[in-house]
């Protein structure tokens, strides 16, 4: 297990990600009934006769199936309403990986970018093993990739290669071209899906908040971030650090550490508040945690099945 927490290099190869398949298979069993956080105004209840759980009741849209129209509510309100069932959402998963240059950093064990890729890979393997449909959006360095939800071996093999490439340190030298969720701007089919976002961002511009809030209206969205808590506990002194601007000396004092911790907590609290405002859940983990432990926790929470 130690080699998963602290791999020899933060740069992973496709073989390293393929080796995670057995761990994904033996994570354990998902809860018999998962509880999702729904946006305000949406309610989840049992519906007899369908054998699946009703996720949402909303106004009819052109792409909805006629057999799912709730005629009683339609008659009562005078407007057509459609029932959306949980099974439609649970069989489709959209994985979003968004790594900025700041993610290629870590004080111990490995880099945040590496842990994010490991967790993303386990989620992908788990989806593949369960034979659910998987779509993805990846954004790191100068690279962006998008694929609609499908259960396809060739597509999955390509995803493994792209995830491995996301750990390459050359990516931090190139400013990220666009946030991964912005790749969905022209997509009209992202509805009733279980969306899992792994991102190292703590600050969201208004354009991202607007895009995410629209996605959250018709999807279950979980946001996962990984924080290096050791960065806030370094003993005072001089440290040689490397980032996208090169190698430089960093002076750490008790005062600067306190300020860094305070700023980090404030940014994380603001992000959580922003996401919660439109029904998204924030899951925070420490870099020292194993990707298997993180995945098992997500399984327990019903984020993955």
CATH of the domain at 217: 3.40.50
**Residues 194 and 118 both lie in one domain:** yes
Interval 58-79: pLDDT, tens: 788 766 778 788 898 889 899 8
* Distance between CA atoms of residues 214 and 217, nearest Å: 5
**Residues 173 and 261 both lie in one domain:** yes
**Residues 134 and 21 both lie in one domain:** yes
* Distance between CA atoms of residues 226 and 220, nearest Å: 20
Residue 36 lies in a domain: no
pLDDT of 14 reads 93
Residue 37 lies in a domain: no
**Residues 129 and 70 both lie in one domain:** no
pLDDT of 153 reads 80
Interval 130-155: pLDDT, tens: 888 899 999 999 899 998 877 778 88
- What count of other Cβ atoms lies within 10 Å of the Cβ of residue 109? 20
**Residues 168 and 62 both lie in one domain:** no
Of the ranges 32-46, 79-93, 159-173, 209-223, which one carries the lowest mean pLDDT score? 32-46
pLDDT of 242 reads 66
CA 207 to chain centroid, in Å, comes to 19
The mean pLDDT value of the chain amounts to: 83
Q: What is the pTM of this model?
A: 0.78
Residue 38 lies in a domain: no
Structure tokens at 114: 């590496």
252 compared with 162, residue with greater pLDDT = 162
**Residues 139 and 65 both lie in one domain:** no
How far is the CA of 191 from the CAs of 36, 138, 196, in angstroms? 15, 19, 14
Residue 105 lies in a domain: yes
Does residue 263 register a pLDDT over 80? yes
CB-CB contact of 68 with 101 (8 Å): no
pLDDT of 67 reads 78
DSSP conformational letter for 36: P
Residue 39 lies in a domain: no
- Tokens 């290669």 locate to 161
**Residues 177 and 60 both lie in one domain:** no
**Residue closest to 295 by CA, chosen among 21, 108, 7:** 21
**Residues 122 and 244 both lie in one domain:** yes
**Residue closest to 158 by CA, chosen among 143, 172, 173, 177:** 143
Rg (alpha carbons) of the chain, rounded to whole number: 21
**Residues 172 and 138 both lie in one domain:** yes
pLDDT of 189 reads 66
pLDDT of 122 reads 97
**Residues 25 and 49 both lie in one domain:** no
**Residues 132 and 17 both lie in one domain:** yes
| Residue 59 lies in domain | 45-86
Does residue 185 register a pLDDT over 70? no
**Residues 177 and 235 both lie in one domain:** yes
Confidence band (pLDDT; 50, 70, 90) for 223?
very high
Percent of the chain with pLDDT over 90: 41
Domains: count for the chain: 2
């Amino acid at each position: 297990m130690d080699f998963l927490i602290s791999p020899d290099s933060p740069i992973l190869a496709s073989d390293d990600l393929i080796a995670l398949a057995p761990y994904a298979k033996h994570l354990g069993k998902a809860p018999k009934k998962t509880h999702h956080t729904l946006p305000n105004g949406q309610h989840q209840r049992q519906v007899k006769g369908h054998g699946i759980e009703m996720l949402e009741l909303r106004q009819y849209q052109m792409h909805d199936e006629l057999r799912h129209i709730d005629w009683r509510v339609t008659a009562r309100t005078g407007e057509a309403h459609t029932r959306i069932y949980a099974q439609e959402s649970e069989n489709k998963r959209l994985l979003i990986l968004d790594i900025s240059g700041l993610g290629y950093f870590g004080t111990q064990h490995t880099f945040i970018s590496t842990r994010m890729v490991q967790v993303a890979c386990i989620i992908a393997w788990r989806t593949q093993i369960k034979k659910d449909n998987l779509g993805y959006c990846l954004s790191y360095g100068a690279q962006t990739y998008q694929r609609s939800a499908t259960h396809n071996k060739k597509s999955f093999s390509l995803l493994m290669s792209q995830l491995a490439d996301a750990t390459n340190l050359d990516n931090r030298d190139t400013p990220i071209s666009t946030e991964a969720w912005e790749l969905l701007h022209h997509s009209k089919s992202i509805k009733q899906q279980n969306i899992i976002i792994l991102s190292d961002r703590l600050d969201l511009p208004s354009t991202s908040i607007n895009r995410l809030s629209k996605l959250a209206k018709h999807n279950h969205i979980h946001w996962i971030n990984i924080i290096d808590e050791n960065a806030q506990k370094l003993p005072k002194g001089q440290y040689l650090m490397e980032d996208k601007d090169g190698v430089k000396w960093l002076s750490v004092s008790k005062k600067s550490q306190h300020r860094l911790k305070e700023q980090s907590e404030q940014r994380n609290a603001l992000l959580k508040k922003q996401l919660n405002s439109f029904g998204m859940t924030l899951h925070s983990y420490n870099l020292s945690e194993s990707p298997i432990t993180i995945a098992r926790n997500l399984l327990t929470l019903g984020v993955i099945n």
